[in-house]
Chains A and B, each alone.
Chain A
Amino acid sequence: MRFLLDDEQREFARSLDKMLSAADPAATIRAWAAGDTGPGRALWARLAEAGVFALAVPDEHEGTGFLPVELAVSFRELGRHATPGPLVETVAAAALLGRLGGPLAADHLPGIASGKTAASLCLASPTSPYALDADAADAVFVVDGDTLRLAESTGPVQPSSDPARRLARPVGGAVLRQGEEMAAAAAHAAEVAALCTAAQALGVGRTLLAQTVAYVGGRTQFGVAIGSFQAVKHRLADALIALEFAEPLVHAAALALASGDAEGPASGPAVAAAKVAACEAAYTAGRSALQLHGALGYTEELDLSLWIRKARALRTAWGTPAECRARVLAG
């Protein structure tokens, strides 16, 4: 057993971190929130170049084959920089199409791998009626029960509490596939989405914690740094504990997805455990960030508010806490 990322995976994370840091994350997020997807799509192309989307695409469609550990590594960095866009949905759509195969996969997957296609995916029932960033996506896939459609259009954007998440209801569209095989592929895609959301939450939480530690180390009241007070320290210690213990659950979920196939060992409980633990940890970090920044933390002009609000949104995206906990016990 070697339950650690290898050097190559760590180097991959470092290179993504470097690229994303250089891309002025806050400006990119604010532009995306305002409907200007230009900087976000430019970054998207560079993520594709780095191979992020190919990680969910089979070899025969110009991908690397499904690599969930590398996906988790990537999404942690994407979360760390709160990168906007339907990242999780594109990867989940790739997982769905990869399972289905055939001309449908051939039509869309090379574009996803190369970054040409940003896709959104909506599991209309029971997950959510909304597709993330459908207005910015090149293809919006909608699963309803055992039916897969390519949406014709989308309804008006319904603003999310995370301004960088633009939600809309897909409308109409031709049926692409129907049946049991489709339902199984959609269930797999939902697990991939939950894993990537969990990893993203870890990154979001890491930034919330790091920025708040920096703030309370510098902010002085009563003549001392507020970070020297136990009430402040203990809150941040708890945030670190939650993140540290969620991370191995995310890695284990990725391994479970890597070893599972349609008939293989069920990865559902492992993914659900990772999802709820990581999102709760990020949310805890977000609440502490808000509280410990004082009134500043309650403003939208604070860049960190983009992370605070994302932590809230991710909590219920791709599996609510209650759904995840029920899944863990269902075994």
Chain B
Amino acid sequence: MDLDFTAAEDAFRTEARAWLAAHVPATPLPSLETADGFAAHREWERALHADRWSVVSWPEEFGGRGASILQWLIFEEEYYAAGAPGRVSQNGINLLAPTLFEHGTDEQRARVLPSMASGEVIWAQAWSEPESGSDLASLRSTAQRVDGGWLLNGQKTWSSRAAFADRAFGLFRSDREGLEAGKPHRGLTYLMFPLDADGVTVRPIGRLDGKPAFAELFLDEVFVPDADVIGEPGQGWKVAMSTAGNERGLTLRSPGRFTAAADRLTELWRAEGDPGDTALRDRVADAVIGARAYRLFTYANASRIAEEGGGPAGPSGKGGGGRRAGSIGAESSLNKVFWSDLDIALHETALDLLGPYGELSDEANDAPAHGSWAEGYTFSLAGPIYAGTNEIQRDIIAERLLGLPKGRR
């Protein structure tokens, strides 16, 4: 048992750190949930891609570096420690790309991945519907078979990044039989579609601070060619669940994000904290311990995955314990609850530490750290909701990891 990096890994870290030091904007970009900010973040994706830092874990042919899972974790640690911008392309990179690597065709990978890596095409997710949130499989938007493709109809919502993104991916009901037989997971098809296609209406929704971080999508006879179906028609649930596993698992929120925030919180505590306020001190310490625990837990998972073969984007075979080798299965629910609660605790503590400045919006000129604590706090509040609510995650933990009986949700 060790926590040692190889010389090659240290060299990779040094290279990443040097590049980031030379390229990360000195002043944070405007929020990526605004039109200007979105454009600026797209430019940043281009810069990352130009030097092959946008998708380090992907194979080289798609713009990556074929990085190991440990190298990816190292890159993420350096990325957030450098204060680099949020990833506007994360829906595509973290959710769609792993699905394409696993279920897509060579043609789809060749067509979709390079423009995703460069930020030329930014992807939005289109999972939820007004009546289908945690019970996603009950969704009603339809994909109807037509000559050469499919016609999409219905409504999607909470579609993150859709206000400014170029394309979206999601599930559609292509066969009603499953629904009528009480097996709603059957008959769903996974499709990709352009957000500027005929028949698509995008209505941005302001999140808690008013920024249009997500949108409603109205789909009226939107034509999608067969080439944009991922996996077999009707098998969309299985295809999507591999994506959901990735979203909650190792690839959505890497520990680097939290260890960097915990380091900044420690600095803030040392600079601004009242040493006599032991209640606040304990919360700072718990945030630091939580970030460290998440990193170590991830290293342990990465070690196990490396032993079994596979990586975040690589092909995967069958592993033991009901999970695929190279993935973490139901255990990803442990991760999701842990990091989302940690993220809120970290930012709440920082805002409390900032006293009267803690209530300033990230847009206020006076906002400390260019508003990064305020923006981070707003962002963190969504964590326990998206990618499967923490209530659903705790059900999964109790049922699949502890073996407790199923009950009503």
- Measured CB to CB, the closest approach of chain B to A314, in angstroms, equals 17
Q: Which of B4, B288, B334, B398 contacts A234 (CB 8 A)?
A: B398
Q: How far is the CA of A252 from the CA of B299 in the complex (A)?
A: 11
Are A213 and B402 in contact, CB atoms less than 8 angstroms apart? yes
Q: Which of A3, A213, A252, A329 contacts B266 (CB 8 A)?
A: A329
Are B299 and A248 in contact, CB atoms less than 8 angstroms apart? yes
Are A1 and B5 in contact, CB atoms less than 8 angstroms apart? yes
Are A217 and B404 in contact, CB atoms less than 8 angstroms apart? yes
A231-266 residues with Cβ-Cβ distance < 8 A to B are 232-234, 236-238, 240-241, 244-246, 248-249, 251-252, 255
User: Which residues of B sit under 8 angstroms from A69, Cβ to Cβ?
Assistant: 1
Assess whether A228 is interfacial by the CB under 8 Å rule. Answer: yes
Given contacts A6-B1, A244-B334, 16 further A-B contacts (CB under 8 A): A1-B3, A1-B6, A1-B302, A4-B307, A209-B402, A213-B404, A217-B405, A233-B395, A233-B402, A234-B391, A244-B297, A248-B300, A255-B1, A322-B278, A325-B285, A325-B286
User: Which residues of B sit under 8 angstroms from A302, Cβ to Cβ?
Assistant: none
A1-32 vs B, CB cutoff 8 Å, 1 = contact: the mask equals: 11111100100000000000000000000000
Residue of A nearest to B282 (CB): A325
Of the candidates A217, A252, A331, the one having the most CB atoms from chain B within 10 angstroms of its own CB is A252
Assess whether A230 is interfacial by the CB under 8 Å rule. Answer: yes
A298-331 vs B, CB cutoff 8 Å, 1 = contact: the mask equals: 0000000000000000000000011011101101
User: Which residues of B sit under 8 angstroms from A236, Cβ to Cβ?
Assistant: 398, 402, 404
- Measured CB to CB, the closest approach of chain A to B9, in angstroms, equals 8
Assess whether B193 is interfacial by the CB under 8 Å rule. Answer: no
Of the candidates B3, B285, B299, the one having the most CB atoms from chain A within 10 angstroms of its own CB is B285
Can you spell out 8 A-B residue pairs with CB atoms less than 8 angstroms apart?
A: A5-B1, A227-B398, A232-B404, A240-B401, A248-B296, A276-B289, A325-B286, A325-B289
Q: How far is the CA of A79 from the CA of B397 in the complex (A)?
A: 24
Assess whether A224 is interfacial by the CB under 8 Å rule. Answer: yes
Residue of A nearest to B278 (CB): A322
Q: Which of A3, A238, A322 contacts B300 (CB 8 A)?
A: A3
Assess whether B303 is interfacial by the CB under 8 Å rule. Answer: yes
User: Which residues of A sit under 8 angstroms from B299, Cβ to Cβ?
Assistant: 1, 3, 248
Q: How far is the CA of A9 from the CA of B2 in the complex (A)?
A: 13
Q: How far is the CA of A228 from the CA of B282 in the complex (A)?
A: 35
User: Which residues of A sit under 8 angstroms from B369, Cβ to Cβ?
Assistant: none
Assess whether A132 is interfacial by the CB under 8 Å rule. Answer: no
Are A237 and B402 in contact, CB atoms less than 8 angstroms apart? yes
Are B402 and A252 in contact, CB atoms less than 8 angstroms apart? no
User: Which residues of A sit under 8 angstroms from B306, Cβ to Cβ?
Assistant: 2
Assess whether A202 is interfacial by the CB under 8 Å rule. Answer: no
Assess whether B269 is interfacial by the CB under 8 Å rule. Answer: yes
Are B334 and A249 in contact, CB atoms less than 8 angstroms apart? no
Are B406 and A248 in contact, CB atoms less than 8 angstroms apart? no
- Measured CB to CB, the closest approach of chain A to B379, in angstroms, equals 22
Assess whether B399 is interfacial by the CB under 8 Å rule. Answer: yes
Residue of B nearest to A249 (CB): B293
Are B282 and A227 in contact, CB atoms less than 8 angstroms apart? no
B147-165 vs A, CB cutoff 8 Å, 1 = contact: the mask equals: 0000000000000000000
Assess whether B112 is interfacial by the CB under 8 Å rule. Answer: no
Q: Which of A1, A227, A321 contacts B2 (CB 8 A)?
A: A1
Are A2 and B297 in contact, CB atoms less than 8 angstroms apart? no
Assess whether B218 is interfacial by the CB under 8 Å rule. Answer: no
- Given contacts A238-B394, A322-B282, are A1 and B4 in contact (CB under 8 A)? yes
Of the candidates B397, B402, B403, B408, the one having the most CB atoms from chain A within 10 angstroms of its own CB is B402
B381-409 vs A, CB cutoff 8 Å, 1 = contact: the mask equals: 00000000001011101110111111111
Are B269 and A241 in contact, CB atoms less than 8 angstroms apart? no
- Given contacts A227-B405, A233-B394, are A255 and B3 in contact (CB under 8 A)? yes
Number of residue pairs across A and B with beta carbons under 8 Å?
149
Are A4 and B303 in contact, CB atoms less than 8 angstroms apart? yes
Assess whether B79 is interfacial by the CB under 8 Å rule. Answer: no
Q: How far is the CA of A287 from the CA of B278 in the complex (A)?
A: 24
Assess whether B190 is interfacial by the CB under 8 Å rule. Answer: no
Assess whether B172 is interfacial by the CB under 8 Å rule. Answer: no
User: Which residues of B sit under 8 angstroms from A9, Cβ to Cβ?
Assistant: 1
B262-280 vs A, CB cutoff 8 Å, 1 = contact: the mask equals: 0000100100000000100
B1-44 vs A, CB cutoff 8 Å, 1 = contact: the mask equals: 11111100100000000000000000000000000000000000
Are B2 and A3 in contact, CB atoms less than 8 angstroms apart? yes
Q: How far is the CA of A321 from the CA of B283 in the complex (A)?
A: 12
Instruction: Sort A-B residue pairs by CB-CB distance and give the 10 closest, nearest first.
Output: A228-B407, A233-B398, A248-B296, A325-B285, A237-B397, A237-B394, A227-B404, A245-B293, A234-B394, A3-B299
A259-315 residues with Cβ-Cβ distance < 8 A to B are 273, 276-277
Q: How far is the CA of A139 from the CA of B4 in the complex (A)?
A: 39
User: Which residues of A sit under 8 angstroms from B300, Cβ to Cβ?
Assistant: 3-4, 248, 251
- Measured CB to CB, the closest approach of chain A to B254, in angstroms, equals 16
Assess whether A225 is interfacial by the CB under 8 Å rule. Answer: yes
Q: How far is the CA of A214 from the CA of B294 in the complex (A)?
A: 28
Are A248 and B303 in contact, CB atoms less than 8 angstroms apart? no
Are A4 and B1 in contact, CB atoms less than 8 angstroms apart? yes
- Measured CB to CB, the closest approach of chain A to B330, in angstroms, equals 11
Residue of A nearest to B288 (CB): A328
- Measured CB to CB, the closest approach of chain A to B323, in angstroms, equals 15
- Given contacts A233-B404, A248-B299, are A2 and B1 in contact (CB under 8 A)? yes
Q: How far is the CA of A216 from the CA of B402 in the complex (A)?
A: 11
Q: How far is the CA of A329 from the CA of B291 in the complex (A)?
A: 13
Are A328 and B285 in contact, CB atoms less than 8 angstroms apart? yes
Q: How far is the CA of A113 from the CA of B266 in the complex (A)?
A: 42
User: Which residues of B sit under 8 angstroms from A326, Cβ to Cβ?
Assistant: 278, 281, 285
Q: Which of A213, A237, A251 contacts B1 (CB 8 A)?
A: A251
Assess whether B70 is interfacial by the CB under 8 Å rule. Answer: yes
Are B303 and A2 in contact, CB atoms less than 8 angstroms apart? yes
Q: Which of B4, B281, B395, B402 contacts A329 (CB 8 A)?
A: B281
User: Which residues of B sit under 8 angstroms from A238, Cβ to Cβ?
Assistant: 337, 394
User: Which residues of A sit under 8 angstroms from B404, Cβ to Cβ?
Assistant: 213, 216-217, 225, 227-228, 232-233, 236
Assess whether B346 is interfacial by the CB under 8 Å rule. Answer: no
Are A249 and B292 in contact, CB atoms less than 8 angstroms apart? yes
Are B398 and A2 in contact, CB atoms less than 8 angstroms apart? no
B76-96 residues with Cβ-Cβ distance < 8 A to A are none
Of the candidates A2, A232, A237, A273, the one having the most CB atoms from chain B within 10 angstroms of its own CB is A237
